Amino acid sequence: MSELKDSIVSYYDQVANRYGVQHGTDLYGCTWGIKNYYLPLIERFVPRGSEILEIGCGTGRFTEILKQGAAKIKAIDLSPMMIKVAQERNPGVEFHVGDCEKLEPFRDGEFSAVAAFNTFSYYPNKKRALASIHRVLKKDGIFFDLDMNALNPVYIMSYWMNRNEMKDWFEYIKESTRGNLAAMFDEAGFDVIHQDTLCWIPNALNKPMVSLLIPLDAILSRIPFIREYAMRVVVVARKR
């Protein structure tokens, strides 16, 4: 395994039991983001009855959402400890420890949708990951990718302040912009059917803080030039 992947496993293995609070996926900011931004997108692009693979599932916060209405769902992550937490909170879902650049446990054309939340930006070889995603999808299958937007000033500032969790990681998150992702997906044999940047509310906030920021989110999201710098990027693509 590469040095970056070793550091990913070591970081996420040690943070797994407090990930939901430290990264905010179990806090109100994330719940608000799911309700107001992510869920409407999932419902629009990942039809009920889909056979879903979730890649880089972490502790399974988004597995909980995807599994509602899925005909079948499997999930994979590089960190054994993140998978352990995900399995505990999602009994009945089939989880695998493995590399999303290869997706070895899965058959060609096994899924009608692959979903990724805040994970694709970590993959050093995104071309190889896209080839694997393409392989495990059926024809016309959907790749739904929601991730950090590298243009967001918070990520850029945390890099300059040396606050990001893994120093090598920013090298790869840099690729995570709407235009870059759309071009990469197209080159890998997908038709991009939706792309956007969204949400100015960080996951790790409590309800009073979120309530304060909601009006700001509404204003910033309405100005196209500024919206481009929002916290998340979403690109949805269909296998050709």
Ligand X SMILES: C[S@@+](CC[C@H](N)C(=O)[O-])C[C@H]1O[C@@H](n2cnc3c(N)ncnc32)[C@H](O)[C@@H]1O
The 13-32 contact track toward ligand X, x by CB under 6 A, reads ------------x-------
User: Least CB distance from residue 77 to ligand X, whole Å?
Assistant: 5
Instruction: Report the residue from 58, 75, 143, 150 that binds ligand X according to the rule CB under 6 A.
Output: 58
- H/E element, 177: none
Instruction: Round to whole Å and give the CA distance between 105 and 112.
Output: 16
Exposure string of 79-93, with b = 16+ CB inside 10 Å and e = fewer, is bebbbebbbeebeeb
Closer to ligand X by Cβ: residue 78 or 237: 78
> Which stretch, 94-102, 193-201, 210-218, 224-232, contacts ligand X (CB under 6 A)?
94-102
- The least CB distance from residue 25 to ligand X, in Å, is 4
Beta bridge partners of 236: 144, 194
Which residue of 32, 38, 45, 62 would you call a contact of ligand X, by CB under 6 A? Answer: 62
Select the residue interacting with ligand X from 77, 145, 196, 217 (CB under 6 A): 77
Number of residues written out for the chain: 240
CA 69, CA 51: separation in Å to the nearest integer? 10
63 near ligand X, rule: CB under 6 A:
no
Which lies closer to ligand X via its Cβ, residue 169 or residue 200? 169
| 78 interacts with ligand X by CB under 6 A | yes
The residue from 29, 56, 141, 202 that contacts ligand X (CB under 6 A) is 56
Note whether 183 and 237 are within 8 A (CB). Answer: no
Instruction: Report the C-alpha gap between 26 and 63 in whole angstroms.
Output: 13
| Site track 98-137 with ligand X (rule: CB under 6 A), x = hit | -xxx---------------xxx--xx--------------
State the alpha helices, DSSP H only, in the chain: 3-15, 19-22, 28-33, 39-45, 63-66, 80-89, 126-136, 153-160, 169-173, 178-187, 207-222, 224-227
**What are the φ and ψ backbone dihedral angles of 40, each rounded to 5 degrees?**
-60, -35
Sole binder of ligand X in the list 27, 53, 75, 82 (CB under 6 A): 82
Closer CB to ligand X, 35 or 240, in the complex: 35
Report the residue number, 59 or 177, with the smaller CB distance to ligand X: 59
Contact partners, residue 191, CB within 8 Å, separation at least 6? 237, 238, 240
Q: Which residue is nearest to ligand X (CB)?
A: 58
| Total number of residues that touch ligand X (CB under 6 A) | 21
Angle at 188 between CA 182 and CA 193, to 5 degrees: 40
Task: Give the binding site for ligand X (CB under 6 A).
Answer: 5, 8, 12, 25, 56-58, 61-62, 77-79, 82, 99-101, 117-119, 122-123
